[in-house]
Amino acid sequence: MGKHEVAIFLDRDGTLIRDFNDIVRPAQVRILRNTAPGLALLRKAGFLLVVVSNQPVVGKGLITRRGVEKLHALLNARLAKRGAHIDAFYFCPHRHWDNCACRKPKLGLVRQAAKKYGINLRRSFFIGDDMRDVETGRRGKIKTILVRTGKGGRDKRFYNVKPDLVARDLLDAARIITKHL
Protein backbone atom coordinates (compact mmCIF):
# COMPACT_ATOMS: atom_id res chain seq x y z
CA MET A 1 0.00 0.00 0.00
CA GLY A 2 1.21 3.47 -0.80
CA LYS A 3 1.80 6.44 1.43
CA HIS A 4 -1.18 8.50 2.53
CA GLU A 5 -3.60 5.61 2.15
CA VAL A 6 -7.15 6.46 3.12
CA ALA A 7 -8.70 3.90 5.46
CA ILE A 8 -11.96 2.95 7.03
CA PHE A 9 -11.35 1.90 10.63
CA LEU A 10 -14.07 -0.45 11.79
CA ASP A 11 -15.18 -1.68 15.16
CA ARG A 12 -15.99 -5.41 15.10
CA ASP A 13 -18.70 -6.37 17.62
CA GLY A 14 -21.97 -4.58 16.97
CA THR A 15 -20.66 -3.01 13.77
CA LEU A 16 -19.68 -5.98 11.58
CA ILE A 17 -21.01 -8.89 13.61
CA ARG A 18 -23.71 -9.35 16.21
CA ASP A 19 -22.58 -8.20 19.65
CA PHE A 20 -22.59 -10.92 22.30
CA ASN A 21 -21.05 -10.39 25.72
CA ASP A 22 -17.99 -12.56 25.08
CA ILE A 23 -17.38 -13.82 21.54
CA VAL A 24 -15.18 -16.89 21.83
CA ARG A 25 -16.80 -19.55 19.57
CA PRO A 26 -17.20 -19.70 15.78
CA ALA A 27 -20.99 -20.03 16.15
CA GLN A 28 -21.04 -16.55 17.73
CA VAL A 29 -19.53 -14.93 14.62
CA ARG A 30 -22.78 -13.79 13.04
CA ILE A 31 -22.35 -11.19 10.33
CA LEU A 32 -24.88 -8.38 10.53
CA ARG A 33 -27.17 -7.78 7.58
CA ASN A 34 -25.69 -5.20 5.16
CA THR A 35 -22.13 -5.68 6.46
CA ALA A 36 -20.79 -7.46 3.36
CA PRO A 37 -22.43 -5.08 0.85
CA GLY A 38 -21.15 -2.11 2.86
CA LEU A 39 -17.60 -3.45 2.93
CA ALA A 40 -17.75 -4.28 -0.80
CA LEU A 41 -18.88 -0.72 -1.59
CA LEU A 42 -16.04 0.76 0.47
CA ARG A 43 -13.52 -1.60 -1.17
CA LYS A 44 -14.78 -0.63 -4.65
CA ALA A 45 -14.23 3.02 -3.69
CA GLY A 46 -10.58 2.18 -2.93
CA PHE A 47 -10.53 2.27 0.86
CA LEU A 48 -8.26 0.14 3.03
CA LEU A 49 -10.48 -1.70 5.55
CA VAL A 50 -9.00 -2.07 9.04
CA VAL A 51 -10.73 -3.56 12.08
CA VAL A 52 -9.75 -2.07 15.44
CA SER A 53 -11.33 -3.93 18.33
CA ASN A 54 -11.07 -4.29 22.10
CA GLN A 55 -11.07 -8.00 22.96
CA PRO A 56 -10.83 -8.26 26.76
CA VAL A 57 -11.96 -11.91 26.43
CA VAL A 58 -8.24 -12.67 26.07
CA GLY A 59 -7.41 -10.89 29.33
CA LYS A 60 -10.27 -12.73 31.00
CA GLY A 61 -8.71 -16.03 29.94
CA LEU A 62 -11.74 -17.07 27.88
CA ILE A 63 -9.80 -17.35 24.60
CA THR A 64 -6.18 -16.99 23.45
CA ARG A 65 -4.79 -14.38 21.07
CA ARG A 66 -4.51 -17.16 18.50
CA GLY A 67 -8.15 -18.01 19.12
CA VAL A 68 -9.19 -14.42 18.33
CA GLU A 69 -7.03 -14.52 15.19
CA LYS A 70 -8.85 -17.71 14.13
CA LEU A 71 -12.21 -15.99 14.65
CA HIS A 72 -10.99 -13.12 12.45
CA ALA A 73 -9.88 -15.57 9.75
CA LEU A 74 -13.31 -17.21 9.96
CA LEU A 75 -15.02 -13.81 9.67
CA ASN A 76 -12.94 -12.97 6.59
CA ALA A 77 -13.71 -16.37 5.02
CA ARG A 78 -17.44 -15.83 5.57
CA LEU A 79 -17.20 -12.29 4.19
CA ALA A 80 -15.32 -13.57 1.13
CA LYS A 81 -18.29 -15.81 0.29
CA ARG A 82 -20.36 -12.61 0.23
CA GLY A 83 -17.91 -10.61 -1.89
CA ALA A 84 -16.21 -8.68 0.92
CA HIS A 85 -12.83 -8.66 2.68
CA ILE A 86 -11.09 -6.99 5.64
CA ASP A 87 -7.47 -5.95 4.96
CA ALA A 88 -6.18 -6.00 8.55
CA PHE A 89 -7.33 -6.84 12.06
CA TYR A 90 -5.89 -5.14 15.15
CA PHE A 91 -7.14 -6.00 18.61
CA CYS A 92 -6.39 -5.15 22.21
CA PRO A 93 -6.37 -8.25 24.44
CA HIS A 94 -6.34 -6.27 27.70
CA ARG A 95 -9.03 -5.47 30.23
CA HIS A 96 -9.91 -1.84 30.89
CA TRP A 97 -8.00 -1.60 34.17
CA ASP A 98 -4.74 -2.76 32.55
CA ASN A 99 -4.30 0.84 31.35
CA CYS A 100 -2.56 -0.22 28.13
CA ALA A 101 -1.91 2.06 25.16
CA CYS A 102 -3.77 -0.17 22.70
CA ARG A 103 -7.26 -0.26 24.22
CA LYS A 104 -9.74 2.05 22.53
CA PRO A 105 -10.25 4.95 22.93
CA LYS A 106 -6.46 5.17 23.16
CA LEU A 107 -4.79 5.26 19.77
CA GLY A 108 -2.16 2.51 19.98
CA LEU A 109 -3.82 0.20 17.44
CA VAL A 110 -4.81 3.04 15.11
CA ARG A 111 -1.23 4.33 15.13
CA GLN A 112 0.16 0.83 14.43
CA ALA A 113 -2.07 0.52 11.38
CA ALA A 114 -1.35 4.09 10.24
CA LYS A 115 2.39 3.48 10.43
CA LYS A 116 2.27 0.11 8.67
CA TYR A 117 0.03 1.24 5.81
CA GLY A 118 0.91 4.94 5.57
CA ILE A 119 -2.65 5.93 6.45
CA ASN A 120 -3.66 9.57 6.36
CA LEU A 121 -5.87 9.76 9.47
CA ARG A 122 -7.42 13.13 8.63
CA ARG A 123 -8.80 11.72 5.36
CA SER A 124 -9.97 8.46 6.93
CA PHE A 125 -13.14 7.39 8.74
CA PHE A 126 -13.87 5.45 11.93
CA ILE A 127 -17.15 3.50 11.95
CA GLY A 128 -18.45 1.99 15.16
CA ASP A 129 -21.54 1.32 17.23
CA ASP A 130 -20.53 2.97 20.49
CA MET A 131 -19.27 6.27 21.79
CA ARG A 132 -15.87 4.73 22.62
CA ASP A 133 -15.37 4.37 18.85
CA VAL A 134 -16.42 7.99 18.31
CA GLU A 135 -13.98 9.09 21.03
CA THR A 136 -11.21 7.03 19.39
CA GLY A 137 -11.85 8.78 16.09
CA ARG A 138 -11.96 12.21 17.76
CA ARG A 139 -8.61 11.61 19.45
CA GLY A 140 -7.08 10.54 16.14
CA LYS A 141 -8.63 13.43 14.18
CA ILE A 142 -10.52 10.82 12.12
CA LYS A 143 -14.04 11.51 10.82
CA THR A 144 -16.55 9.36 12.74
CA ILE A 145 -19.74 7.57 11.83
CA LEU A 146 -21.90 6.03 14.54
CA VAL A 147 -23.96 3.09 13.27
CA ARG A 148 -27.25 2.25 14.97
CA THR A 149 -26.50 -1.47 15.06
CA GLY A 150 -25.09 -3.10 18.21
CA LYS A 151 -24.98 -0.59 21.06
CA GLY A 152 -26.08 2.20 18.75
CA GLY A 153 -24.33 4.82 20.88
CA ARG A 154 -26.15 3.96 24.10
CA ASP A 155 -22.89 4.27 26.10
CA LYS A 156 -23.05 8.10 26.10
CA ARG A 157 -22.57 8.30 29.85
CA PHE A 158 -18.96 7.15 29.43
CA TYR A 159 -17.94 9.39 26.53
CA ASN A 160 -19.46 12.82 26.03
CA VAL A 161 -18.74 13.16 22.30
CA LYS A 162 -20.78 13.52 19.15
CA PRO A 163 -20.15 11.58 15.95
CA ASP A 164 -19.62 13.50 12.72
CA LEU A 165 -22.38 11.42 11.12
CA VAL A 166 -24.92 8.76 12.10
CA ALA A 167 -25.97 5.83 9.89
CA ARG A 168 -28.46 2.96 10.16
CA ASP A 169 -25.83 0.28 9.49
CA LEU A 170 -22.55 -0.30 7.66
CA LEU A 171 -24.10 -0.16 4.18
CA ASP A 172 -25.75 3.18 5.00
CA ALA A 173 -22.39 4.47 6.31
CA ALA A 174 -20.63 3.25 3.15
CA ARG A 175 -23.18 5.04 0.97
CA ILE A 176 -22.72 8.26 2.95
CA ILE A 177 -18.93 8.08 2.57
CA THR A 178 -18.89 7.17 -1.13
CA LYS A 179 -21.52 9.77 -2.04
CA HIS A 180 -19.16 12.50 -0.79
CA LEU A 181 -16.04 11.35 -2.63
Catalytic positions are: 11, 13
Taking a C-beta distance cutoff of 8 angstroms, is the pair 84, 43 a contact?
yes
Give the span between the Cα atoms of 99 and 152, in whole angstroms.
25
Instruction: State yes or no: cis peptide before 56, omega within 30 of 0.
Output: no
Which of 138, 140, 134, 135 minimizes the C-alpha distance to 120?
Answer: 140
